[in-house]
Structure 1
Amino acid sequence: MKKIKCIIVDDEPLAVSLLENYVEKIPFLELVFSSENPIDVLEFIQKNDADLVFLDIQMPELTGINFMKIVGNKMKYILTTAYSEYALEGYDHNIVDYLLKPISFDRFNKSVLKARERFPLAEASEVGHFFVKSSGHQHRINFDDVLYVESIKDYVNIKTESQEYIVLDTLKSLENQLPANFIRVHKSFILNLDKVKSLNSKKIIINSEQEIPIGEMYRSNFLDKLK
């Protein structure tokens, strides 16, 4: 999996520490720099690559809004602040989301999943596998082994030939990582076309026991892909 290189900048040490802890828990994020001083971050950005900045809006030396004006749209931003009145001020920049302190991990996770949808992750499909975090462990999964992916509320179930992996993710986000032989066939299912055994007007059979429903809005595209 290609990781999103991220930076944390916040003048509150506890806020930096909290975000560092959250980033560590997300397998597709890589923390490349964090600081309480936005000037230090600007110097780092001049010499190093990064994709996403967790940016406090109100900082004494340099506000988040002015920070974005200096850096520009070469990066994406998730704004953090304790002041709700700043919620609309930065949206003419390359903003992914806005997090109001105190930030829970659940809200943080939803925000970074939203961010991941903004980044191309096609490189993952070129190596034939990807990694997911499930049950506290990183698992390598070969694309060829995946039967289907099912959405279950805030999680997805990745079903392979021999195992299931329950992952905190969204179907849309995971869809961006899968190669061309995977297709959405239902609002809750992505299917590996190579695993199709038979089908009728309402369902797809992928082995002797597994049946996947066909959503009406996905039917035409699915049948075109089969051809």
Structure 2
Amino acid sequence: MKRIKCIVVDDEPLAVSLLGSYVEKIPFFELVFSTENPIEALEYIRKNEADLIFLDIQMSELTGINFMKIVGDKMKYILTTAYAEYALEGYEHNVIDYLLKPITFDRFQKSALKAQERFPNETSQNSYFFIKSSGQQHKINFDEILYVESIKDYVSIKTENQEYIVLDTLKSLERQLSDRFTRIHKSFIVNVDKIIRINPKTISLLSEIEIPMGETYKSDFFLKLKS
């Protein structure tokens, strides 16, 4: 699996440490360099490959805006700042998102998903992902999942031995799942590898679990099976 190579640049040591720990929790991110010195970051980029920079806008030695002007559009950026008014200027550059300090992991995850959409080739082969359920981060392998169900403002992820309730949308989770998953109903996504029988109006999964199949999703579902 090729992952998005990330750099963290912030002149506050605690911010560098926090963002670095967040990056390492995202399965499709790889932390390749972090520093409190933007000049060191420029030197690293000159000699090494990277994809995405978490960049503080307000740094005393070199502002984030000037940093982006030097590096240019060969990199993508997620800006971090304690001042909301500075964020708008960053959108003139190749910026995916901005994070307003103090940065929570939930907010960081949303930025990570935005980045994932901008690097589809790098993240398409994930075999697992992380979700937050019951106040904890859980690593779930795709091949463990039977189906995903939308329940009002929540999503239920059902494995053979466990159920995880997540505050999220079905559409958001669908973007994170591998290509072995397909939507068969407005409220259900199933793991194609877990199907044991296809009925006229339902699909049977392992453990004889039956999932309704919506008419509007049938054609895409059968195309998925052929592929």
- Report the TM-score range of the alignment, normalised by the length of the smaller protein: 0.7 to 0.9
Which residue does 1:186 correspond to in 2?
A: 185
Q: Report what 1:47 is aligned to.
A: 47
Report the counterpart of residue 89 of structure 1 in structure 2: 89
Tell me which amino acid in the other structure corresponds to 1:222. Answer: F
Between the aligned partners of 2:130 and 2:217, the Cα distance in structure 1 is 29
Q: Which letter maps to 1:27?
A: P
C-alpha distance after superposition, 1:95-116 (max 9, x if no partner): 2211111111221122112222
Instruction: Mark the CA change 1:48 to 1:187 in structure 2 (over 3 Å): closer, same or farther.
Output: farther
* 1:224–1:31 Cα change, 3 Å: closer
Aligned to 2:175: 173
Does 1:38 pair with 2:38? Answer: yes
CA shift, 1:223, in A, is: 3.7
Mark the runs of 5 or more structure 2 residues left unpaired by the alignment. none
Q: In the alignment, does 2:205 pair up with 1:206? A: yes
Distance 1:216 1:67, change over 3 A: farther
Distance change >3 Å, CA 108–CA 123, structure 1 → 2 = closer
Structure 1: which 5+ residue stretches go unaligned?
125-129
| Alignment partners' CA distance in 1, 2:205 and 2:35 | 50
Q: Which residue of structure 2 aligns with residue 116 of structure 1?
A: 116
C-alpha distance in 1 between matches for 2:50 and 2:219 = 40
TM-score calculated relative to the size of structure 2: 0.77
Q: What is the aligned residue count?
A: 214
Paired-residue identity, %: 60
**SS of the counterpart of 1:212?**
strand
Q: What CA distance in whole angstroms lies between the structure 1 residues aligned with 2:107 and 2:85? A: 19
In structure 2, relative to structure 1, the CA distance for the partners of 1:142 and 1:94 (3 Å cut) is same
User: Normalising to structure 1: TM-score of the pair?
Assistant: 0.77
Question: 1:197, 1:207 within 8 Å by CA — same for their partners in 2?
Answer: no
Please give the alpha-carbon distance, in whole angstroms, between the structure 2 residues aligned to 1:56 and 1:215.
47
The residue identity in structure 1 corresponding to 2:124 is A
CA apart distance, 1:154 = 6.6
Q: Is contact 1:151-1:171 (8 Å) kept?
A: no
Shift of 1:6: 0.9
Change (3 A) 1:215 1:63: farther
| Preserved contact between residue 11 and residue 36 of structure 1 (Cα < 8 Å) | yes
Shift of 1:138: 5.0
**Conserved in 2, the CA contact under 8 Å of 1:150 and 1:190?**
yes
* 2:218 paired with 1:219: yes
Change (3 A) 1:187 1:2: farther
Distance 1:136 1:99, change over 3 A: closer
Secondary structure of the residue aligned to 2:102 is: coil
Aligned-residue RMSD, C-alpha: 3.0
In 2: Cα distance, 1:9 partner to 1:63 partner:
11
SS at match of 2:90: coil
Which has a greater percent of helix?
2
Partner secondary structure for residue 98 of structure 1: strand
For residues 79 and 21 of structure 1, what CA distance do their matches in structure 2 show? 17
Hey, what's the Cα distance between the residues in 1 that align with 2:21 and 2:206? 42
Note closer, same or farther for the CA distance 1:9–1:221 as it changes in structure 2 (3 Å cut).
Answer: same
Helix, strand or coil at the partner of 1:5: strand
Distance 1:147 1:94 in 2: 38
Summarize the Cα distance change of 1:223–1:50 in structure 2 as closer, same or farther, 3 Å threshold. Answer: same
CA, structure 1 residues 182+215, in 2 after alignment: closer, same or farther (shift >3 Å)? same
CA distance in 1 between partners of 2:158 and 2:49 (Å): 32
Letter of the structure 1 residue corresponding to residue 68 of structure 2:
M
Counterpart-to-counterpart distance in 2, 1:50 and 1:167: 35
**Alignment-derived partner of residue 164 in structure 1:** 162
Tell me what 2:15 maps to: 15
**1:105 and 2:102 matched:** no
8 Å CA contact 1:171, 1:188 repeated in 2: no
